[in-house]
Chains A and B, each alone.
Chain A
Amino acid sequence: MTGRARARARGRPPGQETAIPPVGAASVQQTLSSQPPGRRQPQQPRVPPSVSEEPGGRGRQRGPQSVPKTIGLQISAGFQELSLADRGGRRRDFHDLGVNTRQAIEHVQESKTGSSGIMIKLTTNYFRLTSRPQWALFQYHVGYSPEMEARRLRSALLFQHEELIGKTRAFDGSILFLPKKLGNKVTEVFSRTRNGEDVKITITLTNELPPTSPTCLQFYNIIFRRLLKMLNLQQIGRNYYNPSDPISIPNHRLMVWPGFTSSILQYEESIMLCTDVSHKVLRSETVLDFMYSLYYQVEEQRFRDACAKELIGLIVLTKYNNRTYRVDDIDWDANPQCTFRKADGSEISYVDYYKRQYNQEITDLNQPVLISQCRRKRGSMMPGPVVLIPELCFLTGLTEKMRNDFNMMKDLAIHTRLPPEQRQREIGRLIDYIQKDDNVQKELRDWGLSFDSNLLSFTGRVVQGEKILQSGNAFDYNPQFADWSRETRGAPLICAKPLDNWLLIYTRRNYDIANTLLQNLFKVTPSMGIRMNKATMIEVDDRTEAYLRVLQQSITPDTNIAVCILSSSRKDKYDAIKKYLCTDCPIPSQCVIARTLSKPQTAMAIATKIALQMNCKMGGELWSVEIPLKQVMVVGIDCYHDTLSGKQSIAGFVASLNQTMTRWFSRCAVQGRGQELVDGLKACLQTALRDWFKWNKYLPSRIIVYRDGVGDGQLNTLVNYEVPQFLDCLKSVGKDYNPRLTVIVVKKRVNTRFFAQCSGALKNPPPGTVVDVEVTRPEWYDFFIVSQAVRNGCVAPTHYNVIYDTSKLKPDHVQRLTYKLCHMYYNWSGVIRVPAPCQYAHKLAFLVGQSIHREPNLLLSDRLYYL
């Protein structure tokens, strides 16, 4: 794998995650924009209003607050700020509550647990939430006669009866929550306003909520977030951070805030708090600072492009309030002296506005301004462009460039990649804070709630390791490392494609490197069983056009593959070559950066990897594992969202073509903004079935779809929209064709962590660890697998959620198959985090999204040309 490929195959760290609109969001947006925009012109750029003008909007990044505040739940003792409205309305349900898929899957009603493997003692980052026996939350409706309008007045009148309702209460102006039951179902009391008016208040019990009711769960989360605030943690996005003890990394102008993610949900056996350590990377650099330093690094004429490339899509944090914005555009024609129209109709310049409102001096009056498109209504802000001043915005998160900076990531990893022991300690610290803070304890006590002080412990299973089968040999590998590159070195491949006629293109400066590569390939290929002729060696100028011209002139119908040695990691050249060879002239291609080949001590290892990669790209097969299931087609789907131009999304679709799952059909669906992904996927599935038929002369009797790239809160759309479309598509194949379908949602980004207890110490659980108890959700048929091994930090388990299943396969078999598939990714001789088809789909979507921007030629679809 080249350095580039590795960098690309890496996932985005959670901190950089941008909000991906749910699949069904298009219609919502349309209704929004069709609303009368009021007196404000829709395109009128605005500065964000000050906090005082938008109650309750503070600190929320993504959650739209469409519901008026009064509907929210007001909670006593300073709990008013967070209300139930935060979770209701159009706000995204990040935990996919209320999507009950297990009930429709008959064979897992009794049990969804597997059986194979040896037991292992695990602890996890969950704490039980306990309530008093027979605990319930009591919900009341409160009515006033005569009607009182002001919420504050309503509260004040009600709270005159403290002796009745008590100090622990939650009230939003009409709904009252109490931890106790009042004597009567309907209670009438009288209050007197300050100007002597008598008001009758009727308190009616409407609901007795058991601890597991969805309303209660929301209530717990609100209370918990409030507790975090009481502990002086600062909210950024969905998580809470401790600003008082930041880790400063001055070499890279970074600051890391330690913090916590938290959510309280109903899990298999009990309601638990899942909390994990989170790190927020902030940068002590303003956007203007960044522009200056960029100005120094690039040529004048490229400066604006470079700014756009580096900045657009980044999240910035404003100096004067706790808000984050995504940079969508840079307006070079505007500057801070431009004026805008305030809500009251008066014109004011940005300089004056920020001076007056926040006492913020803008020193550079020639800077451009940033434009952020607010897509949803937040607080009192209507959707539309927002103007930001670079000097007043801090950068957050990491840019692509920083993420590719090995030294920076290394320096960062020291602080963010915590080994199991340390991670457990940090997580324990949160519970410590909670146990030790008197105010927090009092609040919990008043509600009759408490948290376990120990991490949840239970038993998981480690399934048996797989044997790697390669041309009649079976290799065992050390399960600890989940890697068999050493074991299989020099063994013949299952299917080796010959290199009879191939091109090796290089620039003059890289002549020696090209020659060495050729010699090394001659050394490593025979043992793999690859027949190789000397390449057609072509020297080119180091220009994109030169490469393209040579490709045009030299490729013949017999050419097996074109290998290009690139002198730098400049993306434009790579993109142009890939685009040409994937669309106009469909042949496999291999790009290698010269520097990768330049180190003598790794040259042989690199040549081996390149040979394997080239073989896969030409349709070869490397290894397999035993797959007992017959007539099954496995499908992997992943999405790539173009964050830069924000225009299109690409779904990669990969389906197995043979029994051993060594050959794959690959296609992708390119869709514009607002288009439904599923239409493209239907076409993909149809062609995949056609190809399967060509290969096997029959259709698969089972189809198992691994669906990656599903955001938090999108599960519902998937269940109600995508799955029926798959079924439709299968129906359209033929009257008698009725295959069994399984759809499994794959999620890499989960907060769950497992620690293995071995001889008193906490370690990462070994690859093959399966968890399907305690921390799974009762309403789902779901499980976790730890398939990969990591060298430092904590291993992240992958979550699998079977949302549709007519296969009648035992859970154990589904788990085993899933784990087996994690062994089948040919770009890595080891076990990976997700089933191979998902990783293939990811690679494909990434290549198309980053470089090709349209659907590759279907002639390539039977090979892994995108590896």
Chain B
Amino acid sequence: MDKNFQEEPFTRTIKFTPPLYKQRYQFIKDLVGKYKPKKVADLGCADCTLLWMLKFCSCIEVLAGLDICASVMKEKMHRLSPLPGDYLQPSERSLTVTLHHGSVAHKDPCMLGFDLVTCIELIEHLEQSELKKFPEVVFGFMAPSMVVISTPNSEFNPLLPGVTCRHPDHKFEWNRAQFQSWALETARRYDYSVEFTGVGHPPTGMENVGFCTQIGVFVRKYPQTSESAQSEKPTETVYKTVFKAVYPSLKNEKYLQNAVVSEVILTAQIIKRSLSDHLMSEHEDYNDTTERKSKFQPSMNCFSEDLGKLVVEKSMEPFVNGNVVYIPLKTIFSFPKVNRLCGTFEKLCKFIAGKVTLSSDRSAVVLNTEHE
């Protein structure tokens, strides 16, 4: 038996756990996890909850939302802004989140080139005229690789007490046959394949009514439209941008440089510390220290092994001269994290120029030991 709803015998109300809206969002999240789209648009994004959930998916680089009501989007749009933590540790991927104010009955070039377009509980809110234009806009114009459309299944309504229509703004609620025939016809016309599923299982014995929410997953059959074909499409913008957030990313030179400089200094400080520890603890029982390390810090352990391995070359060895420690850039560059950030040694030199104190021949980082 299905565990995702509870049936309370007395009232015969059906309560989904987790709530149905969350199940719908989770469905999309799982789909994103499976197909790893880079550009995702949510049509009818309302208070941006789905977009907010999707911004944590690391495959996504472009997120867009569209809604006919600007105020409902604005209500919580700021949660799509980068967080302090995003600035403190910029991530590898780039991410841009944009919210547009407009109608799914209108074409705007900003919606081109998407991998996934979601329309969660959208179509039932469309007026007849809008619904007519909708397939042409989404499947004909936007033409993403994948489209997900969800809508209430009216066959389930009798199980929801007192419900004939689930929301006053719904213009219609389709049964499975209606939805599927519309979907199949749309898929056929725009050369997509479609599969039907849903969320919100019916209670035992009522399986024949189908899912509470019916979902159609459309996949484009023909390959990606070429650039030239897209350029023929109208370029006139009709949507109004109400929000745009560009997340800090290491793809951006500024953030990358900051990250490199921090990492270089941190690495140099760690080397300096292990150098002075080494000098101080030469008489100490070595076994004791290694055992100590293994308990709490596996990562530090590999770190010191790395250091041992890496410093085999004589020229790469850090050395102390009076109050000053010289740590060759080559040594620092050989650390995996620095290496991964910069890629090449030349880039490393370029990034840290003027930001880190270097020896006169610019081959080593200079640190002062005086203040410790």
Contact = CB atoms under 8 A, between A and B. Distances in A.
Contacts of A292: 296-297, 299-300
Contacts of A236: 84
A81 interface: yes
Contacts of B165: 195
Nearest to A395: B88
Contacts of A197: 168
Nearest to B167: A194
Contacts of B356: 250
A321 B277 CA distance: 38
B369 interface: no
B85 A318 contact: yes
B87 A246 contact: yes
A28 interface: no
Nearest to B352: A250
Interface in B163-177: 165, 168-170
A255 interface: yes
Given A52-B49, A243-B84, A255-B88, A58 B56 contact: no
Interface string A195-220: 10100000000000000000000000
Contact of B79 (A58, A243, A253, A300): A58
Contacts of B251: none
B56 A359 contact: yes
A300 B168 contact: no
Interface residues of B, number: 46
Contact of B265 (A55, A234, A251): A251
A679 B298 CA distance: 54
Interface of A: 51-52, 55, 58, 76-78, 80-81, 152-153, 193-195, 197, 229, 232, 234, 236, 243, 246, 248, 250-251, 253, 255, 257, 282-284, 292, 295-296, 300, 303, 317-322, 344, 357-360, 363-364, 366, 394, 407
Interface in B28-87: 49, 52-53, 56-58, 70-72, 74-79, 81-85, 87
B168 A322 contact: no
Contacts of B299: 292, 363-364
Given A78-B75, A246-B87, A250-B265, 20 more contacts: A77-B74, A80-B71, A80-B75, A195-B168, A248-B262, A250-B261, A253-B266, A257-B84, A282-B84, A284-B89, A292-B299, A296-B273, A319-B83, A320-B83, A321-B83, A357-B56, A359-B56, A360-B56, A394-B84, A407-B371
Contact of B88 (A51, A250, A282, A295): A282
B23 interface: no
Contacts of A407: 371
B314 interface: no
Closest 6 CB pairs of A and B: A78-B74, A319-B85, A359-B56, A195-B168, A194-B169, A194-B168
Interface of B: 17-18, 49, 52-53, 56-58, 70-72, 74-79, 81-85, 87-89, 165, 168-170, 258, 261-262, 264-266, 273, 277, 292, 296-300, 355-356, 371
B89 A319 contact: yes
Nearest to B54: A359
18 contacts: A78-B71, A78-B75, A195-B165, A236-B84, A243-B87, A248-B258, A250-B258, A250-B264, A251-B265, A253-B262, A292-B296, A295-B296, A296-B273, A320-B83, A359-B57, A360-B56, A364-B299, A394-B85
Contacts of B74: 77-78, 80
Contacts of A243: 82, 84, 87
The residue among B75, B82, B89 with the most chain A CB atoms within 10 A of its own CB is B75
A289 B296 CA distance: 12
A344 B17 contact: yes
Given A58-B78, A81-B75, A322 B52 contact: no
A295 B289 CA distance: 12
A51 B79 contact: yes
A435 B116 CA distance: 40
The residue among B78, B273, B371 with the most chain A CB atoms within 10 A of its own CB is B78
The residue among B72, B82, B88, B258 with the most chain A CB atoms within 10 A of its own CB is B88
A55 B87 contact: no
Contacts of A300: 292
A251 B266 CA distance: 8
B289 to A, nearest CB: 10
Contacts of B273: 296
Nearest to B3: A346
B88 A394 contact: yes
Contacts of A232: 81
The residue among B49, B83, B84 with the most chain A CB atoms within 10 A of its own CB is B84
Contacts of B79: 51, 58
Contacts of A282: 84, 88
B164 to A, nearest CB: 9
